Amino acid sequence: METVSPSSTSSLATAARFWEPRRIPYNAILAAVVVIWIVGTWPHFRGAMNLVDLLRLMVLAALANACYCAAYLVDLAMQRSRFVDTWLRSRWGLWLAGTAFAVLLEWYWIADEIYADFH
């Protein structure tokens, strides 16, 4: 395990080495939720299959990725704390909690805001 000192200039690189490879499964999980909704309720979402709504979906995907970057704020702060060794071993828990929160938020958003709009 790499220990990062508070004065280290590699904090951002250390964070990126952890978070960026996990961005792919994060996006895959969120995409799977969309696919589950579309397939599970298929004729209902047929009206959403147009360019405008697909562009809106792309904006929401970009916002989800912007929210993913919030983990960097926590990571960089923890790397500079006295708990750095524990943090580097357990930050996967933040990834799991953040991904689960994103899935719940996405599920709610689709069910309440999007599903209700298409008849």
Q: First vs last Cα of the chain: how many Å apart?
A: 53
Say what the pLDDT of residue 4 is.
46
Mean pLDDT by 10 residues, the chain (119 residues): 57 96 98 94 85 88 95 95 95 97 93 76
| DSSP string covering 49-64 | -SHHHHHHHHHHHHHH
Say what the pLDDT of residue 57 is.
87
Please say whether the dihedral angle defined by the alpha carbons of residues 74, 58, 49 and 31, taken in this order, is positive or negative: negative
Task: Supply 3's token pair.
Answer: 């220990």
Say what the pLDDT of residue 5 is.
52
pTM here is 0.85
